[in-house]
Amino acid sequence: MACELYYWPTIQGRGEFVRLALEQAGADYLDMARLKGPGQGVEAMMRLMKDQAVTRPSFAPPFLRDGEVMVGQTAAILAYLGPKLGLAPQAAADRAWLDQIQLTIADLVAEAHDTHHPVDLEAYYKDQKPEAARRAEGFRGKRIAKFLGWLETVLARNPAGPEWLVGARLTYADLSAFQVTEGLRYAFPKAAAKTLKATPKLVDLADRVRALPNIAAYLASERRIAFNEDGIFRHYPELDP
């Protein structure tokens, strides 16, 4: 039975981290909000979120339904899927470390989002541009380097070698590191290029992930939504002067 991913149909956003894991594993899944037809798509997603019969409702997309199990929050979804998809280590300590990396990546994603929505999540970017410029300046100047530098350190200190973030095998954290690298290259091409010069191991990791056959096929397919200015990683030239 196919698992069901619920997320907005026109952006990569936080749902893309889950999509990458499902695609790499060759999992049987349905991207529910992108289905066409009466009562399907976003309508079906919102209906499920409001369903009074759901005892463990998700706060917001993305969320996953796997049979009777429903899981929300990207990091929690990946922690659930990782062992099932062969994208998580077996040892409990290693899984805890994997979760820590994924949650730190989630912090980076949130900070990237807040560069264009620093004041009011319900307001448009155009209504908070001065505040966004100030927030983006700090993000470019210090925060990108801090996060990517930490991932570089994780790779360098991996006892199994710097090929992957946890152990000697690909995990969902590697896929997520690839995604944030791609996102930063899109949203902040100048700042990202400068920082990535100092993180060669992370660049190599992103290149390895991009070359994985299943990932390469996904990136070349219509299933991969292009980066755009409705998602988390948005390219506003004035925020990356």
Overall average pLDDT of the 96-103 stretch: 98
SS3 (DSSP) at 70: strand
Show the tokens assigned to 237. Answer: 């030239």
pLDDT digits (tens, 9 = 90+) for 13-62: 999 999 999 999 999 999 999 999 988 999 999 999 999 999 999 999 99
pLDDT for 159 equals 97
Distance CA 179, CA 105 (A): 10
pLDDT for 39 equals 87
On whether the 92-239 domain is CATH 3.40.50.2300, my answer is: no
Overall average pLDDT of the 66-88 stretch: 97
pLDDT for 31 equals 97
Common-topology check for domains 3-85 and 92-239: no
- Provide the b/e sequence for 160-192 (b: ≥16 CB within 10 Å): eebbbbbbeebbbbbbbbbbbbbbbbbbbeebb
Overall average pLDDT of the 74-84 stretch: 98
pLDDT digits (tens, 9 = 90+) for 133-177: 999 999 999 999 999 999 999 999 999 999 999 999 999 999 999
- Provide the b/e sequence for 2-32 (b: ≥16 CB within 10 Å): ebbbbbbbebbbbbbbbbbbbbbbeeebebb
- If we measure between CA atoms, which residue out of 125, 132, 151 comes closest to residue 231? 125
Query: What ranges do the domains of the chain cover?
Result: 3-85, 92-239
pLDDT for 223 equals 97
CATH value of 3-85 in 3.30.1330.20, 3.40.50.150, 1.10.10.10, 3.40.30.10: 3.40.30.10
pLDDT for 1 equals 79
pLDDT digits (tens, 9 = 90+) for 122-138: 999 999 999 999 999 99
Overall average pLDDT of the 102-129 stretch: 97
Is residue 109 scored above 90 in pLDDT?
Answer: yes
Beta bridge partners of 225: none
Contacts for 182 with CB less than 8 Å, ≥ 6 apart: 206, 227
**220: exposed, middle or buried (Cβ count in 10 Å: 0-12, 13-18, 19+):** exposed
Overall average pLDDT of the 88-114 stretch: 98
- Please, are residues 196 and 202 in contact by the beta-carbon 8 Å criterion? yes
pLDDT for 153 equals 98
Number of CB atoms found within 10 A of residue 113's CB: 18
Where are any strands of DSSP class E within the chain?
3-6, 29-31, 63-66, 69-72
pLDDT digits (tens, 9 = 90+) for 170-220: 999 999 999 999 999 999 999 999 999 999 999 999 999 999 999 999 999
